């Protein structure tokens, strides 16, 4: 029976893989980079490092300085937000909104002195890769396109397993310089290597947005208004609802933050990362403290949750506490949803798991790339004239799409980093312009692929991408004065890692440009 299905499955695998493969290359490439979105954002902000004193500044002291400043300069704001330093040399970050709009300042936590504006570079950082990964930076339309393409990915995976009856034995076979045979061997090897990861990452990606792809049950049970999803999440978690208070108009003193911060640390066993005060100076104040995002590096559990403590801002009374305890009671639904999210976003296992996700994502990207290339290699050797008189033109379009989706996307990704360093620091909406550079460069690679001969276009795009990757540390030094040596001396391995990975990718791209051929 299975043999009877194989021709149909082969057709399904070919066309499902080809049609979705172009976008899947870009989706997987950007998703792979988003595994390291925090280090990428840290590098792209290029925040100056403050001189550290011999006596470390406590978080209580830093938070008190922040609240004193906000009390003097943002008393009429609706909300205060304070991001506490997470490593030596970092500044306090203060955010609020008033009649002039959204405001933010940076402060030296030791002296309380305000730092020059802008402090670092305004950027979307690694978040751009994550947003593109699930929405193509195209809003709701892109979100649905990614969902449809992800379903096509599942079809291609299942049909691929059925079609390749010797897929696991072929995993140990690679015949270089054999044209079509070599591309098929590479495609099989990448598929087997990444197969469990690909199923997991695709299924969890679809499952995370289940209420968006299948909204009717949620609307029937919780309504169609803006608060429906929040009510659903509240019912799922089985935790008491966070108090929502309207401003009372009765003045009240802003709480002394230091003792509340110590209490939160004692209750949760975690350092707080973010402080949020609603309705400052009003008796309805609510103070929320949040710990760092969990990655499972301490407990090794996939069910870690972010520490959170809620206080009454006027009285200092404890309202809620949530410990980062993987063994704390959770409803089955909430625990399941949490595990699915942590699996997809690699929020467990620390840096080891993130590197495994990165390498698996690279293998998945290579699977899509070799699959789309393999289609044309086979057709060039034996064309079936599937599209009649237009066959040659269709194949030329497919070639251009292949080039743009693989080498073009890689070139756009590295151009995004260059945009961050070359755009004026004070430019309004810098983050938006960085994303525009990514999209414009990607579009330009499609035009280049359509105008240049196939082999030449591949070689030129990979060579340029390699040159930009290898030149990134030099560009960083010229524009910011920072370099690998300085990062290493102060133990900033996140920023150093970005440049080391760029150098490694540049070396790999040189090999691809010199030896990687599509025929």
* pLDDT tens per residue, range 148-206: 999 888 888 888 777 776 666 666 666 666 656 666 666 777 777 888 899 999 999 99
Contacts of 510 (CB under 8 A, 6+ apart): 463, 466
Q: Is the dihedral of CA 344, 345, 348, 349 positive or negative?
A: positive
Under the banding of pLDDT at 50, 70 and 90, the label for residue 453 is: very high
The per-residue pLDDT for 1 is 46
Residue range 96-121: mean pLDDT, rounded:
87
Q: Which residues pair with 320 in a beta bridge?
A: 310
Among 4-13, 91-100, 224-233, 481-490, the range scoring the smallest mean pLDDT is 4-13
Among 40-44, 130-134, 392-396, the range scoring the smallest mean pLDDT is 392-396
DSSP 250-308: -B-PPPPHHHHHHHHHHHHSS-EEEEEEESTTBTT-EEEEEEPPP-STTT--TT----E
Strand order in the sheet with 92-98: 101-107, 92-98, 79-83, 272-278, 286-291, 308-312, 318-322
- Say if CB 179 and CB 377 are below 8 A apart: yes
For residue 286, CA distances in Å to 219, 267, 456, 466, 482 come to 30, 18, 62, 51, 41
DSSP 8-state symbol, 225 = S
Residue range 4-26: mean pLDDT, rounded:
75
Residue range 387-399: mean pLDDT, rounded:
80
Residue range 119-130: mean pLDDT, rounded:
92
Distance between CA atoms of 464 and 110, rounded to whole angstroms? 45
Give tens-digit pLDDT for 210-219. 878 888 887 8
For residue 129, CA distances in Å to 133, 413, 417 come to 6, 9, 11
Residue range 242-255: mean pLDDT, rounded:
82
Residue range 237-241: mean pLDDT, rounded:
62
The per-residue pLDDT for 245 is 76
DSSP 8-state symbol, 493 = H
**Whole-number percent of the chain with pLDDT over 70:** 85
Under the banding of pLDDT at 50, 70 and 90, the label for residue 519 is: very low
Which pTM does this prediction carry?
0.87
Residue range 101-116: mean pLDDT, rounded:
88
Distance between CA atoms of 285 and 240, rounded to whole angstroms? 18
The per-residue pLDDT for 120 is 87
């Amino acid at each position: 029976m299975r043999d009877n299905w194989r021709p149909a499955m082969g057709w399904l695998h070919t066309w499902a893989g080809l049609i979705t493969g172009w976008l899947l290359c870009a989706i997987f490439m950007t998703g792979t980079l988003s595994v390291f979105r925090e280090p990428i954002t840290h590098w792209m902000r290029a925040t100056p490092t403050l001189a550290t004193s011999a006596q470390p500044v406590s978080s209580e002291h830093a938070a008190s300085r922040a609240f004193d400043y906000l009390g003097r300069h943002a008393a009429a704001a609706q909300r205060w937000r304070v991001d506490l330093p997470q490593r030596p040399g970092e500044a306090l970050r203060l955010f609020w909104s008033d009649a002039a709009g959204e405001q933010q300042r940076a402060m030296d936590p030791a002296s309380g002195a305000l730092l020059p504006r802008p402090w670092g570079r305004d950027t979307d950082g690694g978040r751009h890769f994550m947003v593109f990964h699930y929405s193509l930076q195209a809003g709701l339309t892109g979100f649905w396109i990614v969902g449809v393409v992800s379903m096509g990915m599942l079809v291609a995976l299942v049909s691929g397993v059925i079609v390749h009856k010797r897929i696991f034995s072929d995993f140990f076979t690679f015949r270089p310089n054999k044209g079509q045979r070599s591309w098929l061997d590479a495609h099989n090897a990448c598929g087997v290597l990444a197969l469990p990861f690909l199923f997991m990452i695709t299924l969890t990606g679809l499952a995370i947005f289940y209420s968006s792809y299948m909204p009717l049950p949620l609307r029937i049970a919780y309504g169609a208004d803006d608060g429906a999803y929040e009510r659903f999440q509240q019912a799922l978690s089985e935790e008491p609802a966070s108090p929502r208070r309207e401003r009372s108009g009765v003045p009240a003193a802003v709480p002394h933050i230091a003792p509340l911060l110590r209490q939160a640390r004692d209750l949760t066993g975690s350092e707080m990362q973010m402080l949020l005060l609603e309705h400052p100076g009003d008796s309805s104040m609510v103070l929320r403290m949040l710990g760092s995002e969990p990655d499972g590096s301490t407990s090794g559990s996939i069910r870690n949750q972010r520490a959170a403590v809620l206080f009454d801002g006027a009285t200092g009374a404890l309202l809620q506490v949530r410990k980062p305890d993987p063994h704390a009671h959770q409803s089955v639904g909430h625990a399941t949803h949490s595990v699915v999210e942590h699996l997809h976003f690699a929020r467990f296992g620390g840096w080891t798991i993130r590197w495994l996700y990165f390498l698996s994502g690279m293998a998945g990207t290579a699977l899509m790339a070799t699959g789309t290339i393999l289609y044309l290699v086979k057709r060039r050797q034996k064309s079936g004239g599937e599209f009649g008189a237009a066959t040659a033109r269709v194949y030329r379009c497919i070639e251009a799409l292949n080039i743009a989706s693989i080498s073009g996307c890689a070139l756009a990704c590295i151009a995004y980093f260059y945009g961050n360093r070359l755009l004026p620091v004070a430019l309004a909406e810098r983050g938006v312009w960085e994303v525009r550079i990514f999209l414009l460069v990607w579009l330009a690679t499609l035009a280049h692929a359509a105008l240049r001969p196939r082999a030449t276009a591949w070689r030129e795009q990979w060579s340029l991408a390699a040159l930009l990757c290898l030149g990134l540390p030099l560009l960083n030094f010229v524009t910011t004065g920072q370099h690998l040596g300085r990062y290493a001396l102060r133990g900033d391995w996140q920023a150093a890692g970005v440049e080391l990975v760029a150098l490694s990718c540049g070396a790999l791209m040189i090999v691809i440009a010199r030896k990687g051929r599509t025929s």
